[in-house]
Amino acid sequence: MSSLPNAQPVLRLDWCSYQAAKYACEKWHYSRRLSKSRNVYIGVWENNRFIGAISFGFGSGNATNGERYGLQRSHEIAELTRVALANHSAPVSRIMSIAIRMLRRQSPGLRMLISMADPKHGHHGGIYQATGWIYTGLTAPDVEYFWRGQWMHHRSVTNSVSAKGLLSRPIPGKYRYLYPLDQEMRAQIAPLSKSYPKRASSIVVDAPGDQPGEGGSEPTGALQLIPL
């Protein structure tokens, strides 16, 4: 029997392996790589087809420094580091909301999420706006270097070699979004809220993906976010 034309896709999210998340990022995320922070990974399946992964963790630099938000313990704040999805039918906002609920169940001490949208790639944070995140402004401008045939963030370069003599260029700050996980946290950061930025005229979307997924990831056991 053929499926009904208006039938909703069967969506399933489960904890997945590093290898599955790496595959998703290399295939469907604009960066083509996983972040180097410590992450946990949630795989996404639609009609039993692997369509990508979402990762949460402790971002590099000061991205998840909770002290500025009144959080004293590092495990109280985490970063949404990647949303890497192939073509799919379910709204990204629904997928991300389910992933956040899973993370909250696994990490009851977690009080806030942080994530960045990169205007350099035409992103303005539409998926965060659709799911009620609080926009707090741009991060400081940064710099990247040309190394190994590509432009890379200065931390990726200087952690490995000296940047002396390498070509460099400035890069704009990123849009910073916060997602409080309890009412006390929401009230605390509400004064930081700014008007949402609008999408620039770009064909790049927040969760790029233009190829069908290929199955094969194996769900891992549930992982707890813990301090580094």
Domains of the chain, start order: 8-139+174-228 (3.40.630.30), 141-172 (no CATH)
Mean pLDDT by 10 residues, the chain (228 residues): 65 96 94 81 97 83 71 84 94 94 93 91 88 94 80 66 77 92 96 89 37 32 34
The model's pTM: 0.77
| pLDDT number for residue 90 | 94
Can you name the residues that pair with 63 across neighbouring β-strands?
A: none
CA atoms of 76 and 72, how far apart (whole Å): 8
| pLDDT number for residue 153 | 67
Question: In the chain, which ranges are continuous DSSP H helix?
Answer: 18-28, 92-106, 126-130, 154-158, 183-189
